[in-house]
Chains A and B, each alone.
Chain A
């Protein structure tokens, strides 16, 4: 039975966490419809603590991947490629 929620009080359990996680990922990856997005971000997250926590975790994970998992090409690679290509082109 649904009990009326106090304002700003989030429920502690999400009955559908795995499906919600899939939806959350679709929202963050830009794969959700505008309606799904609106519902999830404005309504579901407001009332559901596990999903709210998952949301923050997923956002941070993406930030960490962006900042920690990129590496620059070695400085000489671009020149090496240009040189090989100009050899190809002059053939």
Chain B
């Protein structure tokens, strides 16, 4: 986050109060974010636990009155990239830069025109939306979770993800197009569409 010039030094009881009242209440959102990043419930637990321990250790760099949830999400995201992805046996399949360049090309705007109908979507009462989201590349899943589920503003997302706000905007646009494309495939498979 921003450079903090005067770093607070919290007393032991202040630390506990911040941790219990400002950090722990976000545990469900943190777990869900961890799960959507790793797609594994045990890994999500480990990631969330590591994140909270880091948050406690570095609590002096948290400024009271600022957005604790955004601060925690940023630590979790960094832990995922620095620790989890390195440990993970599965190598990163695609170079994100290539994906970003591809999905930002005008060509894709012409290609992705999901014909998902609101009626088909309303019929999806099972795991379709969750599965479709999980099938997207991790960077696309992430922006949808942060924006639609957690309600972060673009500026907060830019800080959590360390990317420019314009990239947040374009990544979200692609992510939603890809999600709708996936859902329209499901709709066809399930016979929700008339064709």
A contacts, CB < 8 Å to B: 18, 21-22, 25-26, 29-31, 53, 56-58, 60-62, 64-66, 68-74, 77-78, 80-82, 84-85, 88-89
What bracket does the count of chain B residues touching chain A fall in?
A: 35 or more
| Closest CB in chain A relative to B32 CB, distance in Å | 5
With beta carbons under 8 angstroms apart, the residue of B36, B45, B128, B129 that contacts A77 is B45
**Complex contact B121–A25 (CB within 8 A):** no
Q: Does B76 contact A (CB under 8 A)?
A: no
**Complex contact A62–B118 (CB within 8 A):** no
Interface code B152-195, partner A: CB below 8 Å = 1, 0 otherwise? 01100000000000000100110010011001000000000000
B contacts, CB < 8 Å to A: 12, 15-16, 19, 24, 27-28, 30-32, 35-36, 41, 45, 48-49, 52-53, 56-57, 109, 116-118, 121-122, 124, 127-130, 133, 144-145, 147-149, 153-154, 169, 172-173, 176, 179-180, 183
List chain B residues, Cβ under 8 A from A71.
28, 31-32, 35
With beta carbons under 8 angstroms apart, the residue of A30, A61, A88 that contacts B56 is A88
Residue of B nearest to A56 (CB): B118
**Complex contact B133–A65 (CB within 8 A):** yes
A85 to B184, CA, bound (A): 46
**A60-B118, A61-B121, A89-B15 known; A69+B130 contact, CB < 8 A:** yes
**Complex contact A25–B173 (CB within 8 A):** yes
Tally of A-B Cβ pairs under 8 angstroms:
105
List chain B residues, Cβ under 8 A from A26.
169
List chain A residues, Cβ under 8 A from B149.
65-66, 69-70
**Complex contact B121–A31 (CB within 8 A):** no
A77 to B19, CA, bound (A): 15
**Complex contact B133–A80 (CB within 8 A):** no
